[in-house]
A and B are shown apart, each in its own frame.
Chain A
Amino acid sequence: MSVLKELERASLSPTKDLDPSHHPMDDYLRMDRMPHIWCPTCGIGVSVNCFAKAIEKARIPLDDITVVSGIGCTGRVAGYMKVDSFHTTHGRAIPFATGLKLANPKLKVVVFSGDGDLMAIGGNHFISAARRNIDITVICVNNFNYAMTGGQLASTTPEGSVLSTSPFGNFEAPFNLPFLAESVGAVYVARWTSLHIYNQTVAMVEALKKPGFTFIEILAPCPTIFERQQKFGDGLDRLRWYCDNSIIRHGADTHDVDIKLHDPVIVGKFVDKERPTYLDSMNTHFRKRFGDRYKDYEG
């Protein structure tokens, strides 16, 4: 609750935001790379803003945080964050992040990427990192399609969606990401939409602060492709739709949160539990095995 209060206070505090010589995002974004590549009313930028706020709220020094992305529109996030950032290969942001974290456990490592990247080509890495409880935060912007390559079917595309490689409508069953994440061992699982700026930010703060594999799914409009292809209007129309059609249900059974094209979506914090991280388990195990001869691995 204190986190929420803090957030409220910050968003009301006018001093920094009103200083014309200082854009509120100056400290967080690479302003020398603006304008960014994202389309107007795309949901990715919203999450980037929330993420910047979350870093501030979680009080993580910017020098300690690293952002890793794979490939895709969302995969470009790393390039805009003014922290050590790595734009890697398609699907492999999680193992890259695993290497960073395990080689230097003091780093706060965040993976910020698309659903195609993290869940289809990268699915094996996602489930393996969650199983091991690698201490990283994974933020997945789910726009239900492969946007950067022009709008193909994704492993999250709802049944019935028309995309360039499902011209007659998708008939594959999509992943239910919170269920997947929980079932493979993520210690924190939440889903919000681009509309839920506040909740999304809180989720990021909580995930950043929690040791272990934490996962946030953000349902985001891709007005240029997905929304247009489904004749859902533009990004704003989609936000209005989310406003009327998202149901907040904290602690919902993740079995029940799958997404149908026209049905209301369930959002909220679904999982928040404790489990030793990979390195904790390793150190505890080797201490037991080798006694005093073993010095805890700290990077």
Chain B
Amino acid sequence: MDGDHACCEGALAAGCRFVAGYPITPSTEVVERFSRRAPMVPGAFFIQMEDELAASITLQGAVWAGKKAMTVTSGPGFSLMMEHIGLAVMAEVPCVFVNVQRGGPSTGLPTLPGQADMMQARWGSHGDYEIIAICPNSPQECFDLTIDAFNLAEQYRVPVMFMMDECVGHMMERVIIPEADTIEITPRRYTKLPPGEYLPYKPGEDLVPEMFKAGDGYRLHITGLTHDYKGYPVMSADIQEQLVRRLVDKIRLNAPKIWRYEETAVEDAEVVVIAYGITSRVAVEAVAMARKEGIKVGMLRLIVVWPFPEDRIFELASQGKGLVVAEMNYGQVFYEVDRCARGRAPVVLAGHGGGTVHNVEAIVEKIREAHKCRS
């Protein structure tokens, strides 16, 4: 199965029953599969909307009516969705945005890979906020981590960006689908309080408020404007401070629970390669080649990229390990790594404009460079 199809199956396994899409290469196979599967899955619904602006808000209507929902797109569509990612952040709508990345800017390379939407995923909508972004590197992970994406969305009431890339989306590999009853699914956090007592934006201890669903008799108001616990718009710096602060903190303070990364041979490493998505698979080769040359090099693969594992990067840098960031862009996650290293270690970018994966030798060259700066 390829990554796009595995993502669709992962969504179904996670309980996603509503997909609003708009076709764009290389993401289309996800919705094509969903449109085939939906009629035979009870309660599942697919609609191809008129554009991405529509798709990215139709799914939010569906969430308020009680569904788990996602939309699927690639760079240009992702750009169009930005205002609604902000709405999902502000109104705290759990949902999943899949972006199968291609080369940009603009229409760029429709059929070829890129990893250059990482900062857009983080900062693309206006205002201050935090989201969660996940980068799978295999079809198996497209399945497994899509389930995680839905679970994290429900846990933190936040839009989760599922940042695939064209290679992962179109790569065919064996995907093992576990028995349904072994899959852990986070249910929506509905309130048990009766109408009158429940306040839709009063946060719990983990800073996340409980939800209600339209039609359940709560008769509440939801807005993208700055709002109080009741959900009513309030134009005040005070309320803005409380609300935005909480939206940011509910992710930042829970970040250690959200982080996911994989480390290989970092203990004795003098240089650590940091990569995510398809690039991490190329980087593994580069690490092996450099080891053969006698360079002590390890690897840190980011699975959850946002929130960023700042503490871990700082630790690695503090241990004096040179850092190489390999990504299919000319510096996005690189700047985060550089920031977190706080000058304690050299940070080198193995950048690439996209269109094809890195040349292994190019990463090895950067490993040598980082190793040299270090000694």
Interface residues of A (CB under 8 A from B): 30, 33, 62-64, 66, 68, 78-79, 82-89, 91-92, 95-104, 106-107, 124-125, 128, 286, 289-290, 293-295, 297, 299
Q: How far is the CA of A107 from the CA of B220 in the complex (A)?
A: 15
CB pair B40–A95 under 8 Å, yes or no, is: no
Q: Which residues of A contact B42 (CB under 8 A)?
A: 295
* Contact, CB under 8 Å: A125 / B54: yes
Complex contact A104–B87 (CB within 8 A): no
**Which chain B residues border A88 with CB–CB below 8 Å?**
57, 60, 87, 224
Known contacts: A79-B232, A104-B65. The answer to whether A87 contacts B224 by CB under 8 A is yes
- Among B40, B49, B63, B83, the one with the most A-chain Cβ atoms within 10 Å of its Cβ is B49
Smallest CB separation, A79 vs chain B (Å) = 6
| A100-B219 in contact (CB<8A) | no
Q: How far, in Å, is A28 (CB) from chain B's closest CB?
A: 10
Q: Is B61 an interface residue (CB 8 A)?
A: yes
Docked-complex contact B84 and A89, CB < 8 angstroms: yes
Chain A residues whose C-beta falls within 8 Å of the C-beta of B218 in the assembled complex: 84
Q: How far is the CB of B61 from chain A (nearest CB, A)?
A: 2
Closest Cβ of chain B: how far from A244's Cβ, in Å?
A: 39
Determine the distance from Cα of A91 to Cα of B80 in the docked complex, in whole angstroms.
13
B36, chain A: closest CB distance, angstroms: 12
For the complex, what is the distance from the CA of A297 to the CA of B40, rounded to whole Å? 10
The CA-CA distance from A294 to B39 in the complex, in Å, is 7
Q: Please tell me if the beta carbons of B47 and A102 are within 8 angstroms of each other in the complex.
A: yes
Q: Given that A88-B57, A103-B18 are known contacts, is A124 also in contact with B50, CB under 8 Å in the complex?
A: yes
Interface string of B18-39 (1 = CB under 8 A from A): 1010000000000000000001
Known: A63-B217, A104-B66, A295-B42. A99 touches B223 (CB 8 A): no
Q: Can you list 12 residue pairs at the A/B interface with Cβ under 8 Å?
A: A83-B219, A87-B225, A92-B57, A98-B54, A99-B18, A99-B69, A100-B62, A103-B63, A107-B214, A124-B50, A128-B54, A293-B40
Contact across chains for A100 and B87 when beta carbons are under 8 A apart = no
Q: Does B124 contact A (CB under 8 A)?
A: no
Closest residue of B by beta carbon distance from A64: B215
Given A83-B219, A85-B220, A95-B20, 16 other A-B contacts at CB below 8 A?
A: A84-B219, A86-B214, A87-B223, A87-B225, A87-B233, A95-B54, A98-B58, A99-B58, A99-B63, A103-B45, A103-B63, A103-B67, A124-B50, A124-B51, A293-B40, A297-B43
A86 contacts which of B43, B55, B64, B67 (Cβ < 8 Å)?
B64
User: Are A95 and B57 interface neighbours, CB within 8 A?
Assistant: yes
Binding site for A on B (CB under 8 A): 18, 20, 39-40, 42-43, 45, 47, 49-51, 53-55, 57-67, 69, 83-84, 87, 214-225, 232-233
Chain A residues near B58 (CB-CB < 8 A): 95-96, 98-99, 102
Q: Note all chain A residues with C-beta closer than 8 A to B221.
A: 30, 78-79, 84-87
Partner of A85, one of B69, B87, B217, B222: B222
Once bound together, how far apart are the Cα atoms of A29 and B58, in whole Å?
A: 26
Residues of A near B39 (CB, < 8 A) are 286, 289-290, 294, 297
**Inter-subunit contact B65/A107 (CB<8 Å):** yes
Picked from A33, A87, A107, A290, the residue with its CB within 8 Å of the CB of B215 is A107
* Least CB separation from B18: chain A residue: A103
> A residues within 8 A CB of B54?
92, 95, 98, 124-125, 128
Partner of B222, one of A86, A89, A107, A295: A86
List the 3 shortest-distance A-B pairs measured between CB atoms, nearest first. Answer: A99-B61, A103-B65, A103-B62
Contacts A92-B53, A107-B214, A290-B40; A100 near B64 (Cβ below 8 A): yes
- B225 CB to nearest chain A CB (Å): 7
Least Cβ–Cβ distance between A240 and chain B, in angstroms? 34
Q: How far is it, in angstroms, between the C-alpha of A30 and the C-alpha of B65 when the chains are bound?
A: 22
A286 to chain B, nearest CB (A): 5
State in angstroms the CA–CA spacing of A125 and B59 once bound together: 14
Q: How far is the CA of A54 from the CA of B61 in the complex (A)?
A: 24
A296 to B39, CA, bound (A): 9
Q: Look across to chain B and name the residue whose beta carbon is closest to the beta carbon of A132.
A: B47
CB pair B45 A297 closer than 8 Å: yes
**Closest chain A CB from B34 CB (angstroms):** 14
A91 to B224 alpha-carbon distance, docked (Å): 13
Q: Which residues of A contact B84 (CB under 8 A)?
A: 89, 92
Closest Cβ neighbor of B55 among chain A residues: A95
Contact call B215/A84, Cβ cutoff below 8 A: yes
Q: Which residue of chain B has its CB nearest to the CB of A94?
A: B54
Q: Is the CB of A63 within 8 A of B49?
A: no
Report chain B residues within 8 Å CB of A87: 221-225, 233
- Bound together, the chains give a CA A116 to CA B337 distance in angstroms of 45
- Separation of A290 and B45 alpha carbons in the complex (Å): 16
Report B-chain residues with C-beta under 8 Å of the C-beta of A89.
57, 83-84, 87, 224
How far, in Å, is B71 (CB) from chain A's closest CB?
Answer: 10
Alpha-carbon distance A86/B212, docked complex (angstroms): 13
Within the complex, the shortest CB–CB distance from A95 to chain B, in Å, comes to 4
- Select from chain A the residue with minimum beta-carbon distance to B51: A124
In the complex, chain B residues whose CB is within 8 Å of the CB of A106: 215
Q: Are B61 and A100 in contact (CB under 8 A)?
A: yes
A96 touches B215 (CB 8 A): no
Q: Considering the chains assembled together, what is the distance between the CA atoms of A297 and B44 in angstroms?
A: 8
CB distance from B115 to the nearest CB of A (A): 28
The minimal Cβ–Cβ distance linking B124 to chain A, given in whole angstroms, is: 15
B contact residues around A78 at 8 Å (CB): 221, 223
